Every structure is written in structure tokens, then in C-alpha cells.
Amino acid sequence: MSNIRAIRGMNDILPDETPSWQYVEGAIRQLMAGYGYSEIRLPIVEQTELFRRGVGEATDIVEKEMYTFADRNDDSLTLRPEGTAGCVRAAIQHGMLNTPQRLWYAGPMFRYERPQKGRQRQFHQVGLEAFGVASPDMDAEVILLTARLWRLLGVADDVQLQLNSIGSAQSRSDFRVALVSYLRDHFDALDEDSQRRLDSNPLRILDSKNPDTQALLDEAPSLTDYLDDQSRDDFNRLCALLDAAGVEYSLNPRLVRGLDYYNKTVFEWVTDRLGAQGTVCGGGRYDGLVEQLGGKPVPGVGFAMGIERLVLLLQECETLPQATADADVYVVSFGNEAQSEAVAASERLRDAFPALRIVQHNGGGSFKSQMKKADRSGARLALIWGEDEVAAGTVSLKALREDDKERVGQQSVPRAELEQTLRALLAD
RNA sequence: GUGGCCGUAGCUCAUCAGGUAGAGCACCGGAUUGUGGCUCCGGAGGUGGCGGGUUCGAGACCCGUCGGCCACCCCA
């Protein structure tokens, strides 16, 4: 019988890595607060119908990537493959959309795909949704916020912003007709996938990686030429705001996105340092989504970013803070009486120094092995309780790190003075 | 779903015309009756992913299967 393993593509995040995650999450939390966004926490499971209607029936996500199952009541449920649909659902359900809302959330998402670098079946996103403002100043804010994050994390030079407008539903539909007509005339020159998409999702042919197809697209109608006036004006205004704020971007008229709800502004932050899965953050405007999910027409703009990819990028760029030890003080003892005193004293120390990380040695062992643990723990100080100390009413305090050796060394401290001695030591 | 590469100790990897497995790190103990880091000595730890086949004999060869990585695809 073989051991039970984690589900394919659903990875444990081990203690080695959690500090990196906490660092990234902390930066994001601070960033969101700095722009006036509030956190919202959403269920991981929703009715399947939400994603069918929200993400779009013809998308890859809905077609073949969802974890869908029947619950005991035979309702069809789905592990959320993305966050926007659930967030919109919640905002509608709780009547939050009478006024503009700035919201963010974080958590696991699920897509049944073949795992590879930067892609797993359970992955984590931070998402942001700004509801109720249709003008491009809101698009700009959202993008500026992401740009600030890259600066905060020290990866600003390693990501590039790609920007496009895919216009209104009407202009997109006009363009689609023209594009399909053009591509049909050159059907034989298309790669196999693109031939298939010609019917199902022709806009996605635009970002085909096939060189022949790309060459063909050079002569194809351009989405830009089909933009309605409002979309064009708003896009220009967005670009002007980004220019004024000093955010660099490249216009990518072939950038479309895989979720049906997008319109007008779409953007991606990409990096060339993560292999094939180079999109760290993607988003755009979705003015029709709220209505499509049963709310009043309320515009929205947002993004999602992948935390795994972000952590990978920070590792790649070596911009993560250095790992710190687990302990500040390691407490060893020998004999029952000494241990009783040590445990009680540690509790008092935790009262006095709530931020101090005090690790108690449990499980016995020789002084030597206990000291070895003390060293391995990375603690700065060891507190040593043995028979001699019990007899003398003292505790031995020993510096474990070179920096403290000369100043602190090993000293015998009367129990009553332990707290003040520690306070003095830790003061500098 | 497709393809390429890979599966030997907790980790990183050796070994090999096919003759029944080794190192470093980590772990435990000792050298040092109550004191870590360095050094030395010792110990524990592997049904060589799993199943089948070829062979006198397979971790090594073949087939299957599962898993991992990377890529296609898609996106975060």
C-alpha cells in the first residue's frame, strides 16, 4: 500500500517558504490599504452556474478546467477558478453596489490543467475589484497600484506592462466579423489550433504563438481600427494618466484575454524570468459583468495576480529578505526540578516580553544535545537551568552568537534579576 | 489532452558489460561527569516509484503504470 500524497498540482507550502509568502502578502496588504481598498473574504466553492455565466461558456476555464462536482443535494458546485465572479456575486447579494466600492481579496483558486513551472491546479491569487466608476481614471489607479507593488518588492525592472483596449461589445463584435472573414480566406495558412478557434473564439487567435499565424495577422484587420469613440477616448485618457505618472507600458493590439467578461481596457504585467508562464498579473475592465450576473448595470475594473509566480519572481531576482531564525532565546534544563523552574520562568518572560521568541527545550537529552539544539535554533541566547542553578537560585545565560560573545559571554544571573538583565541585553 | 526528460537513504547525487547499493548534507551517539558552532570516531536510515517481462542473476535492459519536471495549450 503506497503512501497518500497530495493531489497532483496542489502543493504544500512548507515552512521554508512561508516567510516569503508572508512578506509578499504583507506588502500587498499595506499597498491595498494605501489606496483605500477593503478586504473581502469569499467562499472557495460557488454554484457552477456563477462561473458559466460570469467567466463565459466558451472559455477554456469553463470548457475544460473547472473542478465541478455534485454535492449531497445534487446541486452542481465548482471550486472557484478565479475570483471576480464570486466577488461580483457577493457585491450584488449584499447590496454593495449603490456606491462605488474598492475591494480586494486573496486565496486559492483551482483549475484542472497540466502543472508546470508557475502553473498548478491549486494556486493563489490576490484580486482587486473597483466597482461603480466607468471612467479611465479608475483604470489608471488600478494599474498605478500594481506598478507600486513591483517597486515595493524590488522587481520593477523585471516586469513590463502590456496594454490594450478591446472596446465595447459592439465594436468587438464588428471586428470579429471582419477578422473571421479575413482568416477564412487564409484558412489553410492557419495552424491547427487557430483553425479550431475560428469558430469557437476567433479573438484568441490574435495571441497565437505560431509564427506563420502571426505573420498572417500582420495583414489582418486590427482591433484598434474598430474601437468605438468612447473606448478610444477613454483609452487615450488612460494612456495620458499613465504617462503623467511615469508608468511605462507597451501597446499590444493583439492582447486579448481569456475571460469573456472583459471590455475596453485590458492589461498584463509580464516577465521573461519565469519561463513559459510569464504573466504575473492580468486584468482589465468588465462593465457588463454585474448586469450579466443579475445586478444593475455597474461598471468595474480589476486584476488578479498569481502569488506563486510573484514569489518565484522574487526568488529569481533575489530580492526576498534574508531568512531569520525561529528563536531569540532557547531554554535548556536538566532534571525535573530545574525544568519546572525553567518552564515557569519562561512563562513569566513571555509575559514581560511578548515579542520575544522563547523556545523551550522539550524531550530531555544531555546538556550537550540540548545545547546543540540551542545552537541550531539560531537563538541569540541560551538560558541554562541545571542542578547547580537550582541550588544557587540562579540561571545561566549564555551568548550563542559571535557578536554578543565579548559583551555578554556566559553569566550567572540571580533569578529575580533575570527579567531586568534580559531587558538590558536586548535594549541594544 | 499531447510531447520531451527524469524517478536509487529525509535532501543533493554516485555506482553499473546486468553479479543482490555508496558518498556528502541532515539526524542520533561518543571523544568533552553540566555547555553549541570546528575536528575526529561511530550509529541509524533504502522491498533502488509500482507491476510485469528478458536472464542463472536486473536498480541497471524491455513493456506497462503511477509520479515529478519542463514545454505545447492556457493563463495567475
Pair (A296, A339) in one structural domain: no
Pair (A284, A371) in one structural domain: no
- Residue A420: per-residue pLDDT: 94
- Residue A254: per-residue pLDDT: 83
Asked if A96 and A256 count as a contact pair (C-beta separation under 8 A), the reply is: no
d(CA A213, CA A205) in angstroms, rounded, equals 8
Angle at A100 between CA A164 and CA A238, to 5 degrees: 25
- Asked whether the predicted pLDDT for residue A347 surpasses 80, the reply is yes
Residue A6: which pLDDT band, with cuts at 50, 70 and 90?
confident
**Protein CA A115 to sugar C1' B44 (Å):** 37
Range A91-116 average pLDDT: 95
Pair (A417, A297) in one structural domain: no
- Residue A1: per-residue pLDDT: 40
Angle at A22 between CA A16 and CA A26, to 5 degrees: 160
Pairing of strands A358-360, A329-333: parallel
A378 C-beta less than 7 Å away from strand B: no
Pairing of strands A263-270, A160-165: antiparallel
pTM greater than 0.95 (yes/no)? no
Pair (A137, A116) in one structural domain: yes
Pair (A267, A416) in one structural domain: no
Chain B bases closer than 7 angstroms to a protein Cβ: 1-3, 26-30, 32, 34-37, 49-50, 67-76
d(CA A139, CA A133) in angstroms, rounded, equals 9
Range A183-206 average pLDDT: 76
C-alpha cell at A301: 475594473
Domain membership flag for residue A185: no
C-alpha cell at A83: 475570483
Asked if A366 and A313 count as a contact pair (C-beta separation under 8 A), the reply is: no
Domain membership flag for residue A396: yes
| ipTM entry | 0.85
Positions 110-139 of A with beta carbon below 7 A from strand B are 111, 113-120, 123, 125
Domain membership flag for residue A159: yes
CA–CA distances in Å: residue A236 to residues A142, A169, A233, A267, A329 = 16, 19, 5, 14, 59
- Asked whether the predicted pLDDT for residue A16 surpasses 80, the reply is yes
Last residue of a domain, one of A289, A317, A345: A317
Residues with Cβ within 8 Å of A422's Cβ and at least 6 positions away in sequence, in order, are: A329, A349, A352, A353, A381, A397
What's the pLDDT tens digit per position in A395-405?
A: 999 999 888 88
Last residue of a domain, one of A317, A345, A376: A317
Residue A185: which pLDDT band, with cuts at 50, 70 and 90?
confident
Domain count, chain A: 2
Comparison of pLDDT for A211 and A298, the residue scoring more: A298
- Residue A2: per-residue pLDDT: 58
Region for A284 from its dihedrals, namely left if φ exceeds 0, alpha if ψ lies in -120 to 50, beta otherwise: left
A123: the nucleotide nearest its CA (via C1') is B76
Pair (A388, A271) in one structural domain: no
Domain membership flag for residue A55: yes
C-alpha cell at A194: 487557430
What's the pLDDT tens digit per position in A319-333?
A: 888 878 889 999 999
Instruction: Give the residue numbers of the binding site of A for L-histidine.
Output: 82-84, 111, 125, 129, 257, 261-262
Domain membership flag for residue A215: no
d(CA A149, CA A327) in angstroms, rounded, equals 30
Last residue of a domain, one of A317, A348, A378: A317
d(CA A163, CA A247) in angstroms, rounded, equals 12
Termini Cα distance of chain A = 56
- Residue A207: per-residue pLDDT: 75
Asked if A378 and A394 count as a contact pair (C-beta separation under 8 A), the reply is: no
Asked if A398 and A382 count as a contact pair (C-beta separation under 8 A), the reply is: yes
What's the pLDDT tens digit per position in A20-72?
A: 999 999 999 999 999 999 999 999 999 999 999 999 888 888 888 999 999 99
- The 10 Å Cβ neighbour count of residue A36 is 8
Q: What is the dihedral of CA A366, A372, A373, A375, to 10 degrees?
A: 150
Pair (A145, A241) in one structural domain: yes
| Paired strand residues for A360 | A331
What's the pLDDT tens digit per position in A130-166?
A: 999 999 999 999 999 999 999 999 999 999 999 999 9
Return the amino acid letter for A218.
Answer: D
Pair (A39, A66) in one structural domain: yes
- Residue A220: per-residue pLDDT: 82
| Paired strand residues for A331 | A360, A383
CA–CA distances in Å: residue A199 to residues A184, A202, A215, A222, A265 = 10, 6, 20, 19, 24
Residue A142: give the domain boundaries: 18-167+227-317
DSSP string, A50-116: HHHHHH-TTSHIIIII-EEEE-TT--EEEE-S-SHHHHHHHHHHTT-TTS-EEEEEEEEEE-----B
Domain membership flag for residue A239: yes
Pair (A236, A384) in one structural domain: no
Domain membership flag for residue A174: no
A242 C-beta less than 7 Å away from strand B: no
- Residue A233: per-residue pLDDT: 94
Pair (A296, A261) in one structural domain: yes
Domain membership flag for residue A359: yes
Helix, strand, or coil (residue A131):
strand
Positions 159-198 of A with beta carbon below 7 A from strand B are 193, 197
What's the pLDDT tens digit per position in A216-239?
A: 777 788 888 888 999 999 999 999
d(CA A84, CA A286) in angstroms, rounded, equals 10
Residues with Cβ within 8 Å of A112's Cβ and at least 6 positions away in sequence, in order, are: A64, A65, A66, A67, A121
CATH number, domain with residue A343: 3.40.50.800
